[in-house]
Amino acid sequence: MDSPTTTSPTGTAAPGTNWARNHRYAAARLHRPRSVAELQELVVRTGRLRALGTRHCFNDVADSPGDLVTLESLPPQAEVDTARGVVRVSAGTSYGTLAERLHTAGAALRAMASLPHISVAGAVATATHGSGDRAQNLAADVRALELVGADGELRRLERGDEEFDGSVVALGALGVVTSLELDVVPTYQVRQDVYSGLSFAAFTRNFDAVTSAAHSVSVYTTWVGEDTAQVWLKTRLNDSADAPAELFGARPAAEPLHPLPEVDVRNATEQLGVPGPWHERLPHFRFSFQPSNGEELQAEYLVGREHALTAITELRRLGPSIAPLLHMCEVRTVAADGLWLSSSYERDAVAFHFTFRQRQPEVLAALARVEDALLPLGARPHWGKLFAAGAATLAGLYPRFADARALVARHDPGGRFANAFTDRIGLTG
């Protein structure tokens, strides 16, 4: 997934570009420490530093005016304790690798991202994903984390600690996370069924019934026409073994589909109601397939559930102007959590996830129109995707934003982990 880099004898490299190739990292060097001790030494001797994950962000959230560090060379770790319902995992581990280890041990996560190739720490730091009326985003599973702070010391925070809720989704501004402990549950089976032909009239009239029809529900649309494109239901077999014969007029697909019609369906996880392990059904895309090399741009906005129908009306109004730029837009629900900078902080939310064609100037212009429509509804943008809103707007969308800013200033007064992104959104600077 990472762009090619040329590694020097000292273990550093030119950082290259992100996955989508719409951002070239400004950092001078990319370091690859082989132990936490090496990482601590690196933090102390480096003026400005940021951690780089799997490069699946579409903006400069992971960039640095100084150097970058990847944790790929640290010893991998996935220690499962089923009795306590927890797994301790190294920060750079991908969700796909973690899921395979958990399933072998008879354990599971409650949710997975659509793309299992992303790293645990990167997804947590940006409050990624969440799909289902009762499913929180991935950061909400964190029970404890360890990170190297600006002074080079290794610090541990546990759920219930005074600063924990402000430290989980911290955009890398508090230091380099080295390991996390996540809640796990006993392993389970999931079936996946895809429907087509759900009209917008039926969707909006039966919104709560559609989003609660399965453990995880995704509705795909380009916002034009009278019908949505696809509805994906992921049903836990211990919740219900059967999928509905029809879904408010939508019928089951007769063959497997990909959310993006032009992409090879073999990349998508198995459908047609065939039961399988949780980690092979909850993602949309197979871990065994290397994802496409970024021929897309992504944006995502989460509104409070009470504003979902108004947001849908606004996006349908904008449909003719944004559809030519869209591959597809996914609508899904996310349950509330208590993490200060989470896009679902203290409110059940509906996420509108846009996958755009790689035409960035036009996409940014389209996002300005989308934000004009959604930000008055309190929409919060995904931190790792494209958005235009700045500090003045964002601070008002997060009730604990000032507390998060004070927390960062207290632990990193010299701005070692600050960058242009954290300055631009008002978290630092």
Which of 187, 215, 247 finishes a domain? 187
Q: Are residues 208 and 342 in the same domain?
A: yes
CA 124, CA 113: separation in Å to the nearest integer?
A: 11
pLDDT tens figures, 123-151:
999 999 989 999 999 999 999 999 999 99
Assess if residue 423 is contained within a domain.
Answer: no
Q: Which domain holds residue 208?
A: 189-388
Q: Are residues 229 and 112 in the same domain?
A: no
Q: What is the mean pLDDT of the chain?
A: 93
Question: Positive or negative CA dihedral for 69, 70, 75, 79?
Answer: positive
Q: Are residues 227 and 148 in the same domain?
A: no
Beta bridge partners of 220: 230, 330
At 291, the pLDDT band (50, 70, 90 cuts) reads low
Q: Are residues 193 and 236 in the same domain?
A: yes
Which of 70, 88, 110 finishes a domain? 70
**Can you give the CATH number for the domain in which 201 is found?**
3.30.70.2520
Q: Are residues 36 and 108 in the same domain?
A: no
Q: How many domains does the chain have?
A: 3
> Over 70: is that where the pLDDT of 241 sits?
no
Instruction: Residue 246: count other Cβ atoms within 10 Å of its Cβ.
Output: 12
Window from 61-75, 170-184, 232-246 with minimum mean pLDDT: 232-246
Query: DSSP assignment of 7-53, as one string?
Result: B-TTSEE---B-TTSS-B---S-EE--SSHHHHHHHHHH-SSEEEE-
Q: Are residues 126 and 272 in the same domain?
A: no
CA 203, CA 221: separation in Å to the nearest integer?
A: 11
Q: Are residues 110 and 146 in the same domain?
A: yes
Assess if residue 415 is contained within a domain.
Answer: no
Q: What are phi and psi of 62, to 5 degrees?
A: -100, 5
Q: What is the pLDDT of residue 289?
A: 80
pLDDT tens figures, 86-129:
999 999 999 999 999 999 999 999 999 888 999 999 999 999 99
Query: DSSP assignment of 108-162, as one string?
Result: E-S---SSTTSBHHHHHHTT----STTPPPGGGGEEEEEEE-TTS-EEEEETTST
Q: Are residues 231 and 137 in the same domain?
A: no
Q: How does strand 67-70 pair with strand 30-31? A: parallel
